[in-house]
Amino acid sequence: MKTGTTTTRVLGIFALMITAWVVVSAFFLTPADVVQGDSVRIMYAHVPTAWIAYLAFVTTAVASGLSLARKHRTLGFDRVAGASAEVGVLFMAMTLITGSLWGRLTWGTFWQWDPRLTTTLFLFVTYVGYLAIRRVDVDPVRRARRSSVIALLAVLEIPLVHFSVVLWRSLHQEASVLNTDGDVRLDDLMLFTLFSGVVAFTLIFVWLVVHRQRLAAMSDVERLVGLDAAITARRAESTVGGGGR
Amino acid sequence: MNAILAIARKDLRIEWRTRTLLARVVPFALLVLVLFAVALDSEPLLLRAAAGLVWLAMLFAAMLLVQRSFDVETADHALDSLLSFVSSPSKVFFGKALSMFVQLFALAVVLLGAAVVLYGARVDGDGVVLLVTVLITATIGLSVVGTLYGVVVANMSGRDSLLPLLALPVLAPLLIGAARATEAALGSDTIDLANGWAWVALLVTYAVVFGSAGAVAFAPLAQSDS
């Protein structure tokens, strides 16, 4: 069995081609920033990964909501939710890593307790927990119900985290050594490269989620078929064993 | 309402007879406060961090209490029978949250007392009202979130490690709010009473949001099989 189809193959080829263009443009064609120098090139990876991470978690939330609300195809939506969360956690890890590297170069420090960063970190930990829960339940129906509820609770949690962190930072007027204003003036080519990066990463995201959820469907089927096969095998054994005695 | 009170009373009676809170959770939380003092090894730093450390110890202790509260329910499928006795599953949720609140509130009072004794924290006139309000609102939030995630991991293998992983990130806003408001109530250079009340507003919002979410989400989570 395969998880690929003609559509996903075309999608994959497009994603590869655009990624190749982004790499070439980001490293060689776009100019270095006046202030930040070459370190600005991290942006072409950092911004798209952050976008994908948030897109992935929105997808998870929507798919989980559909999985809970609908009577049919609940398992399908749940598999999309799980696949999307897995890809999201991966991309969020890349966002945090590229972000802290960029921060080291431009702010002089790997980490800052700024609202956006702190919220992203809590979001990351929340979805690591969500994935941990998904691994526990073996029964797909129970897993779907439980993990959908958790994904929707995370949607409640994130605005509260963000709001509390914003309030927390605004009440603590500690002298910031660093200028957090990381805005970069973008010319047309830089903007286009950044945009291509977002498109490329979105295609990669779709490609990964499609494959991952098909794989999940196969493993659910395999578990059912495997169970039936095991029962048949045991039955056969017992009849043979019974006859022997 | 009677069902809620009956469930809370049942949980508190179990607690009173087994004395888990008294014999294990309170000593554990106090030990955490002592260990913080040893680890930080600086009295001005301890005084500055007292509010945050108390609430951190509360969060850890709450994880133990929540596990205990659902260990009782998962043994012999007690939760299933409990659900069949009430008209709505949300009553079980509020009942368990209520008993959790009573226990956690008692614990919070003990821990604040310990912060006064061990860390030299001071409670003076103006701060008392704020302090009591913070204790009540934050403990309500902690109880509802604890109960909600307690039922999520109930019946799961490896729930001891899953509960903190799931619940602690969700409790982050509560920790920030409760710690800052308590700091304001205890008197601090960095935050005044008015800002402390702003945090209480966040704590109330938090308790309302997760209280309602818990009432809705408890039913699908508590069903053992469908």
| Tokens matching residue A123 | 């979001």
Q: Which of A121, A123, A153, A163 to mutate to test the interface with B (most CBs of B within 10 A)?
A: A153
Sole residue written with tokens 């659902």: B70
Contact A157 B199 (CB under 8 A): no
Please report the pLDDT score of residue A89 as a whole number.
94
Interface membership of A39 toward B (CB under 8 Å): no
Interface membership of A71 toward B (CB under 8 Å): no
Q: Specify whether the CB–CB gap between B101 and B143 falls below 8 A.
A: yes
| Tokens matching residue B144 | 């509802």
* B175: closest chain A residue by CA: A164
The domain locations on chain B are: 2-222
Section A145-163 average pLDDT: 86
- The Cα A241–Cα A237 span in angstroms is 6
Tell me the three state secondary structure of residue A37. Answer: strand
- The Cα A49–Cα A47 span in angstroms is 6
Residue A233 pLDDT greater than 70, yes or no: yes
The sign of the dihedral angle between the CA atoms of A145, A148, A154, A155 is negative
Q: What is the pLDDT of residues B171-215, one digit of tens each?
A: 999 999 999 999 888 877 777 888 888 889 999 999 999 999 998
Tell me the three state secondary structure of residue A203. Answer: helix
| Surface-to-core class of residue B16, CB atoms within 10 Å of its CB (0-12 exposed, 13-18 middle, 19+ buried) | exposed
Q: Specify whether the CB–CB gap between B142 and B58 falls below 8 A.
A: yes
Sole residue written with tokens 């064993």: A241
Q: Specify whether the CB–CB gap between B145 and B211 falls below 8 A.
A: no
Chain B residues in contact with A172 by the CB 8 A cut-off are 190
B86 Cα to chain A: minimum distance (Å):
22
State chain A's mean pLDDT as an integer.
83
Interface membership of A113 toward B (CB under 8 Å): no
Residue A174 pLDDT greater than 70, yes or no: no
Contact A157 B170 (CB under 8 A): yes
CA separation (Å) from A115 to A101, A126, A156, B81?
A: 18, 16, 17, 45
Please report the pLDDT score of residue A184 as a whole number.
59
* Of A31-40, A77-86, A152-161, B55-64, the least confident: A31-40
Share of chain B above pLDDT 90, in %: 46
- ipTM, two decimals, is 0.84
Q: Which of B191, B152, B176 is nearest to A151 (CA)?
A: B152
What are the residues facing A37 on neighbouring strands?
A: A33
Residue A50 pLDDT greater than 80, yes or no: yes
Q: How many CB pairs under 8 A join A and B?
A: 84
Chain B residues in contact with A132 by the CB 8 A cut-off are 162, 165-166
- Considering only residues A240 and A221, tell me which one the structure prediction assigns the higher pLDDT: A221
The domain locations on chain A are: 12-26+41-172+188-244
A6 Cα to chain B: minimum distance (Å):
38
Residue A180 pLDDT greater than 60, yes or no: no
What are the residues facing A192 on neighbouring strands?
A: none
Please report the pLDDT score of residue A45 as a whole number.
87
